[in-house]
Structure 1
Amino acid sequence: MTDQTENPVFAAENTAQTMRNVMAELGKTETLANPAPDKTLIEAALVTTPTGRNHHDLTSTHRAALEYLKPARRKGTARLADLQSLTDWAQRFKGDTSALFAEPDMDAPTITCIADYHAAGPIEPTTPTGDPTARHCHHRAVYNFPLSNEWKAWMEVSDTPMEKDDLGEFIEANAKDIMDPTPAILKGAESDKNKDWENRLILTAQQIEGRYGQLSQLLKMSKQFQVYETSDLKIATNRDSGESEIQFLNEHKTADGKPLNIPNLIIIAIPVFANGAPYRMPVRFRYRKSGGQIRFILSLYNPEKSFEAAFDVAVNKITADTELPMFKGTPES
């Protein structure tokens, strides 16, 4: 009987089988770490490949494949057009850890809702599995308060010197914002019979020694206002030392020589935010004469108070409607 091991045909077949076995062994991958079913996005997925038995981290590939059909968590920032939409968004997505942040910036006020904000309680930085109160804070909604056109117009001219014609054009364009003082305000005495806002304006006038004027007076001044300056010489002598002091006293008068007596306050009623309630504010009216040039200055008196009042109304409303904690300022970035 012939030995098959000595037969060239069988020897070739044995060699081929050996080579197949060797190549299969060399090309085999080995799993070093595979994510557990209940911790898919936490544990890493590591394998080795034949070429030098290199290690490859497939964690991101696994996560991308899993998120292809369904995201692992909510993320993104919604930009909402009104406060009610922010309230509805918060009601739809809020949880036990959700929170509101209000930024009272007079130039760009905002309210932000973070649906997945950090849970309350102290941090636990030494816990092996991570801080149990930490959240990603990736799911947000922001409402940017739109400042009213009236507010922006008056804030733009506030404390800015204007020529007579510029003042007249501004007053005519914004005459609807100016309100005449009521009889109680003209009287200038606080009373229980007055409305709260009347007493507030009266108190402001008393504090800055102001007197309220009417729209018609302001329009007339912007068209016909003229100032005549007179100078009187005053000499004072100290009898003990014999020293003399010379002063020039300047006085502004009307064309007929009478001292100027003009109102230095007006009242405007404008909304802080677009489509919001109007707020009554005093505006100081001043003029400066230098040589033959006259400049007029309109200055909003404490506009911060009106802004804070309007902002607090919005903050209190959304806090009450959503029942979420409110923080003044900006959240962690």
Structure 2
Amino acid sequence: MAKEPINTTGEAATIADLAVRAQGVPSIIKTDDGQVFLLHPAGYDYVEVTPDNSVPVLQPKIIDQAVTLQNVDALVAYVERFKGEASLMFADIEASRIVAAIDYHGKDEPSLVKHRGTLALPFSEEWKIWRELDGKLQQQLDFARFIEENNPDISAPPAADLLEAVRDLQARRQVNFIKAVRTSSDNENFEFSDETEARTRGGLELPTQFVLHLPVYFGEPPTEIRAFLRWRLDEGKLWLGIKLHRAEHVRQAAFRQIVTSVVERTGVDVIFGKIG
């Protein structure tokens, strides 16, 4: 004899009734947390028919969240919103990365440290361009084009003097360079002979150093760095390049300045190191 389904109400009752007509007598089971299951005797199948939004949602006991920030302002805003008494930041100077451990443990209070905000500082395009050339030599025409294209980053020598030197570089592509002489104005004068102009002799003068103003990291103000002229004479051909002066010191100083600013703006302490 068929038995009546238990706890049949609403949509669950309709499904149970259809199941009875189709293949036998199902049972409806309700769990303590409000879930409803329709059991089919044939084949021991079951279908969950819990009404939408009728079961309480279990809330997590801890905040498990790792956020990647894209600039300093975003890191400051995130820390300001969620920081607590135990919050702590870690500054990895080698990786240019700052990690805010929002739920860091206290002295005698353990924590899983699952809530973090990470800022991996991206380098500026200007910094990447000059670092790419750092320590490398180019043919004189390529070097002239590089200086011409990136002239806005150079604060000294004056733009007019620099562009004049660039034009000389571009014009003296077929000459035979002989030697280089340091001038009284601390420039480098490259002497050459030009067989196409009745063996004329002349000199091409270039500054021995440049003063650059460019940001180390994206979105940050520019900082000063010096670049020294490097050159080589190779069978009459002139190869030119630059060497950035203490570039790693400049980068580390820029990073420390950013870390100091973040601490001042958030009031959260920082430790130079890496968090596991």
Q: TM-score, normalised by structure 1?
A: 0.55
Equivalent position of 1:14 in the other structure: none
Task: Give the SS at the match of 2:240.
Answer: strand
Q: Residue 325 of structure 1 aligns to which amino acid in structure 2? A: D
Task: Give the SS at the match of 2:126.
Answer: helix
CA distance in 2, matches of 1:147, 1:294: 31
Shift of the alpha carbon at 1:217?
4.5
Residues 68 and 113 (structure 1), Cα distance of their counterparts in 2 relative to 1, 3 Å cut: same
| Higher relative strand content | 2
Please identify, of 90-99 and 71-80, the stretch whose mean Cα deviation from structure 2 is larger. Answer: 90-99
Does 1:110 pair with 2:86?
no
Q: Residue 124 of structure 2 aligns to which amino acid in structure 1? A: S
Equivalent position of 1:169 in the other structure: 145
CA distance in 2, matches of 1:260, 1:327: 52
Equivalent position of 2:82 in the other structure: 93
Equivalent position of 1:222 in the other structure: 169
Once superposed, what is the RMSD of the aligned Cα atoms?
A: 2.7
Deviation digits for residues 227-269 of structure 1, max 9, x if unmatched? 5327xxxxxxxxxxxxxxxxxxxx9633355677642111211
CA distance in 2, matches of 1:104, 1:261: 40
CA distance in 1, matches of 2:190, 2:214: 33
Task: Give the SS at the match of 2:207.
Answer: coil
Equivalent position of 1:76 in the other structure: 65
CA distance in 2, matches of 1:154, 1:136: 43
1:39-78 to 2 correspondence within 5 Å? 69-78=58-67
Q: Percent identity?
A: 25
Equivalent position of 1:288 in the other structure: 232
Query: In the comparison of the two structures, how many residue pairs are matched?
Result: 204
Equivalent position of 1:9 in the other structure: none
Equivalent position of 2:243 in the other structure: 299
1:167-206 to 2 correspondence within 5 Å? 167-181=143-157
Q: TM-score, normalised by structure 2?
A: 0.66
Q: Residue 175 of structure 1 aligns to which amino acid in structure 2? A: N
Equivalent position of 1:239 in the other structure: none
CA distance in 2, matches of 1:217, 1:227: 20
Largest Rg, 1 or 2: 1
Deviation digits for residues 73-103 of structure 1, max 9, x if unmatched? 0112101122122112112222222101112
Shift of the alpha carbon at 1:221?
4.4
Task: Give the SS at the match of 2:241.
Answer: strand
Match 2:112 to one of 136, 143, 146: 136
Match 1:147 to one of 120, 123, 127: 123
Equivalent position of 1:318 in the other structure: 262
Residues 265 and 152 (structure 1), Cα distance of their counterparts in 2 relative to 1, 3 Å cut: same
Q: Is the 8 A contact 1:103 1:328 kept in 2?
A: yes
Match 1:253 to one of 191, 209, 232: 191
CA distance in 2, matches of 1:289, 1:313: 41
CA distance in 2, matches of 1:99, 1:78: 15
* Gap regions ≥5 residues in structure 2: 1-55, 180-188, 194-199
Equivalent position of 2:216 in the other structure: 272
Equivalent position of 2:207 in the other structure: 263
CA distance in 1, matches of 2:146, 2:204: 23
Q: Is the 8 A contact 1:180 1:214 kept in 2?
A: no
Task: Give the SS at the match of 1:289.
Answer: strand
CA distance in 1, matches of 2:146, 2:206: 19
Equivalent position of 1:158 in the other structure: 134
CA distance in 2, matches of 1:82, 1:149: 15
Q: Is the 8 A contact 1:263 1:285 kept in 2?
A: yes
Q: Is the 8 A contact 1:214 1:266 kept in 2?
A: no
Task: Give the SS at the match of 2:138.
Answer: coil
Q: Residue 229 of structure 1 aligns to which amino acid in structure 2? A: I
Residues 137 and 218 (structure 1), Cα distance of their counterparts in 2 relative to 1, 3 Å cut: farther
Deviation digits for residues 164-210 of structure 1, max 9, x if unmatched? 2211221122111112347xxxxxxxxxxxxxxxxxxxxxxxxxxxx
Task: Give the SS at the match of 1:162.
Answer: strand
